[in-house]
Structure 1
Amino acid sequence: MRRNPFDELEEMIDRIGRQVEEGMIGGNTGFPVPGSVAVDVADTGGEFVVTADLPGYDTDDIDLTLTDGTLRLEATQEEEAEYEEGTYIRRERKGKSASRRIRLPEPVEEEEVSASYTNGVLTVRLPKVSEDDDSKRIDIE
């Protein structure tokens, strides 16, 4: 029996949609989204480590927030108004901005989050919420 060509088209559209969505939330196979930041998210067991490439930015240009299990990274570099020593013959380096939202798979200790920025690489450490040892096992009768 012959397959319906519309079924193949629908499968392809679904696959592309999943790949784009995975790219937006930090999957491995997603397409790069314009203006987004390339990130790696590692699970070390006790914490998540997010590493992002942000060359050319200063720490004052980067804004990090953590809300409801989503890490939001925004970086904005303002365009310089004029060249201090003369006029431009060619101008290709303009202000730029980039952003990324990363949904974390588990809750983290928000008060323990730390970030560092060295040589254009941002590293954010997000310790996982530890399970309480005070929990009580409930037997089912």
Structure 2
Amino acid sequence: MRGNPFEDIEAMLDRVSQQVESGMTSGGLQVPGSVPVDVVDTGEEYLVTADLPGYETDDIDLTLSEGTLRLEAGREDEEYAEGRYLRRERTRTSANRRIRLPEPVEEEAVSAGYDEGVLTVRLPKVAGSDDSREIDIE
């Protein structure tokens, strides 16, 4: 008898995510709807920087669970009562990204800031736990 089929699906999604992240580090693969990020290992912490122009702090949700940082952002689509669009390229109203961390982090010490469209998350390394924690953005 086979194991849980959802575990197989999760493993496949993790492999695809790793392949996509590997492609992005090698020079510019951008997946539609995903947030472009930089992840730096400083030795003491992971520093995640994400470009989220046009979002408010309340539009962004960060969650850390089982060694994965989940970033989700959503905003209302702008409609104009007067005039008509000649070009409309800014229609994406939501974006997301999952970042698997290679080592456990100190969940209580995680901090995040948002300034001029750039989200910065600091994740200090230490022994982690299995609990999830929502992260406040300052």
**1:111 corresponds to 2:111:** no
1:120 Cα deviation from its structure 2 partner: 0.4
Q: Which residue of 2 aligns with 1:51?
A: 49
Equivalences, count: 111
2:65 to 64, 67, 78: 67
- Alpha-carbon separation, structure 1, partners of 2:20 and 2:122: 21
Mapped contact 2:59–2:75 kept (Cα < 8 A)? yes
Unaligned runs of 5+ in 1: 1-17, 131-141
Unaligned runs of 5+ in 2: 1-14, 128-138
- Alpha-carbon separation, structure 2, partners of 1:47 and 1:20: 22
2:25 to 25, 28, 46: 28
1:91 Cα deviation from its structure 2 partner: 6.6
- Report % sequence identity: 63
Mapped contact 1:26–1:102 kept (Cα < 8 A)? no
One-letter amino acid of the counterpart of residue 101, structure 1: R
Q: TM-score, normalised by structure 2?
A: 0.69
One-letter amino acid of the counterpart of residue 19, structure 2: E
One-letter amino acid of the counterpart of residue 104, structure 2: P
Q: Deviations over 1:49-103 (max 9, x none)?
A: 00000111111111100000000001111113553xx354547243511111000
